[in-house]
Structure 1
Amino acid sequence: MTVQPVRLFGDPVLRARADEVAAFDKDVSQLVADLTDTMRASGGVGMAGPQIGVGSRVFVYDTVQAARAGTPRAGHLINPTYEVIGDETQTGIEGCLSIPGLRYDVTRALRVIARGVDMRGEPVEFEAEGLLARCVQHETDHLEGVLYLERLDQATRKQAMRAVRESEWFTTGKTVMSAAEVLDSRPAAAGQER
């Protein structure tokens, strides 16, 4: 298990659709371990393969809240999909470990059913609500090459892009950052940066 450098906005791996995982071997187990270690060292609640430069459809999560008893609060999903349950939405602050130091309100579905497989290829399915549902949607977006900034309304997206261009890491041309640097760049009130 190793903490990996975090890929930053501007790295092409973050904009490409990740590949399906077909082989459930020690490489997949290592990827899950590396993602988990890097997510925790960076202070995140979720992290997807592309964020450490691996174009595989894998993400990990560790939320302090769960939708209901029996819903996992920490784990991983490989080849994930989700289905929105109902019409209710939630608007809340999101950040991204690959866009350090910035946070914006994003509207997402309140509840989803997450499906995928685990590192042994065994089926996984659970209902998620609140923070866990937000995390599932955010990390699945990463696997599609979509960053949360694309989920912002036009005016907020314009403001966010200006903030990105003014960020020290962006102006110096960084495309990778250590987990410790990402953790240090978090806003003072950060609670659920991903």
Structure 2
Amino acid sequence: MRHGSIPGSSGRVRPMTLLGDPVLHGPCEDVTDFGPELSRLIEDMFATMYAADGVGLAANQIGVPQRVFVYDCPDDEDRRHLGHVVNPRLVAADGDTVRGPEGCLSLPGLEAQTPRFDRAVIEGLDRRGEPVRIEGTGWFARCLQHEHDHLEGAVYPDRLGSWRRGRVLRAARRARWAAPPR
């Protein structure tokens, strides 16, 4: 395989944005320039996601408030889904609501049973501005919904009931990566 044909192989690993950083808690801007900077961002996102052992990464998780996410995630049948989407819209989230373990690269080491729909459909664009439609079920549907939430300014604890949310946020405050109180 040619160097550069593996997503992220020509990218650089960027620092991860952690819970509490304002870029994670506000909606991201639509991408309007589909040039080389977008391709570089996507490559860097793949490199960063792989370095962190993730299955998905939104641009604001590396401090870039643009509507882009990448993924390399299996579904419940262990089929691999690999790609990216620019300016995604969640056009369907339905089926059974399943509570399952969910973590986040921006909350390292933390996890909570988070409710998500068992099916999700995302429509958006690829790095060239061509339309894409991604449909996922099971674990992959969870990934699509999680990454889309990031671009809307939400993190998975926002989906939890008050007791579970409080538990995750208390653990985040005690985590070694937490920012010191001001």
8 Å CA contact retained: 1:67, 1:127: no
- 1:9-158 pair list within 5 angstroms: 9-65=19-75, 73-158=81-166
- Cα 1:118–1:149 change in 2 (3 A) is same
Matched, 1:167 2:175: yes
Divergent runs of 4+, >2 A: 64-69, 83-87
Letter in 1 for 2:160: L
Give the Å deviation of 1:84.
Answer: 2.6
**Contact 2:75/2:136 (<8 A) preserved:** no
Q: Which has the higher contact order (CA 8 A, sep 6+)?
A: 1
Indicate the RMSD between aligned Cα atoms, in angstroms. 1.7
Question: Structure 1 pair 163/86, CA: closer, same or farther in 2 (3 Å)?
Answer: closer
Give the unaligned 5+ runs of structure 1: 174-194
Any gaps of 5 or more consecutive residues in structure 2? 1-10
**How high is the TM-score relative to the length of structure 1?**
0.83
Cα distance, 1:169 vs. partner? Answer: 1.3
- Give the number of equivalent residue pairs: 171
3-state secondary structure, aligned to 1:88: strand
Preserved contact between residue 24 and residue 120 of structure 1 (Cα < 8 Å): yes
Segment drifting more, 84-93 vs 1-10:
84-93
Q: Specify the SS of the correspondent of 2:114.
A: strand
Question: Which amino acid counterpart does residue 98 of structure 2 have in structure 1?
Answer: Q
Kindly state the Cα deviation for residue 172 of structure 1 after the two structures are TM-superposed.
4.5
Please report how far the alpha carbon of residue 86 of structure 1 lies from its aligned counterpart in structure 2 after TM superposition: 3.8
Equivalent position SS for 2:153? coil
Deviation at 1:67, TM superposition (A): 7.0
Provide Cα deviations, 1:99-151, integer angstroms capped at 9, x if missing partner: 11100011111001111100000000122101111111000110011011100
Distance 1:6 1:127, change over 3 A: same
Q: 1:85 to 1:146 in 2, by over 3 A?
A: closer
Residue from 1, 5, 25 that aligns with 2:15: 5
Contact conserved, 1:67 with 1:128, CA < 8 A, in 2?
Answer: no
Amino acid at match of 1:121: G
